[in-house]
């Protein structure tokens, strides 16, 4: 069920009015028209999702590089029990890597793990190990900071 967006991002009142129990959103970079979910809408979205124990899937596919404003935090940081966070290396490294990640609420870790194990195609192992190395050594963070698109 599509929900309208404006310059502040998704229209949370219209979302709530649908009676939905969850939502897929792109708060850091509204897909496909751009824009960032405003602080007020973030608060409202979090209140709504916490009130009825639903889930928001935060597709954070393009948050690392900011062209016109400072970085914004993930919605997941405001409601870790109710937000399923999805990230990807497609924009920061290369889409051909086919590596992404999920940060899920504690109660979903087991069911999500069981579901993922049923998939025959996983992510490439060697590339995952290389990404883990970049993360552990701080090289990934340095790479992000060096990219010219990022504002201080």
Ligand X SMILES: Cc1ncc(COP(=O)(O)O)c(C=O)c1O
Q: What's the closest the beta carbon of residue 61 comes to ligand X, in angstroms?
A: 3
Q: Which two tokens stand for residue 24?
A: 């897929």
6 SS3 class: strand
Q: What's the closest the beta carbon of residue 9 comes to ligand X, in angstroms?
A: 14
Between 25 and 49, CB nearer to ligand X = 25
**Separation CA 27–CA 60 (nearest Å):** 7
Residues 65-96 as b or e (16 or more Cβ within 10 Å = b)? ebeeeeebebbbeebeebbbbbbbbeebbeee
Between 31 and 65, CB nearer to ligand X = 31
Q: What's the closest the beta carbon of residue 152 comes to ligand X, in angstroms?
A: 25
Among 11, 24, 31, 128, binds ligand X (CB under 6 A): 31
Between 17 and 102, CB nearer to ligand X = 102
- CA dist 79 → 76, 82, 135 (Å): 5, 6, 24
Among 5, 15, 25, 26, binds ligand X (CB under 6 A): 26
DSSP notation for 9-62: EE-HHHHHHTT-SEEEE--SS-TTT-----HHHHHHHHHHHHHTT-EEEEE-TT
Between 34 and 40, CB nearer to ligand X = 34
- Of 41-100, binders to ligand X (CB under 6 A) are 59, 61, 88, 90, 95, 100
Between 90 and 150, CB nearer to ligand X = 90
The residue ranges that bind ligand X (CB under 6 A) are 26, 31, 59, 61, 88, 90, 95, 100
């Amino acid at each position: 069920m599509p929900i309208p967006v404006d310059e502040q991002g998704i229209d949370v009142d219209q979302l709530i009015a649908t009676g939905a129990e969850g939502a897929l959103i792109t708060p850091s970079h509204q897909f496909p028209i751009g824009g960032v979910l405003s602080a007020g809408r973030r608060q409202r979205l979090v209140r709504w999702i916490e009130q009825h124990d639903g889930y928001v899937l935060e597709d954070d596919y393009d948050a690392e590089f900011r062209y016109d404003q400072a970085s914004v935090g993930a919605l997941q940081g405001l409601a870790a029990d109710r937000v399923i966070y999805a990230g990807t290396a497609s924009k920061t490294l290369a889409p051909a890597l086919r590596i992404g990640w999920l940060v899920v609420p504690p109660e979903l870790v087991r069911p999500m793990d069981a579901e993922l194990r049923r998939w025959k195609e996983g992510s490439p192992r060697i590339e995952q190990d290389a990404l883990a190395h970049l993360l552990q050594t701080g090289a990934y963070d340095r790479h992000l900071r060096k990219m010219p698109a990022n504002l201080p």
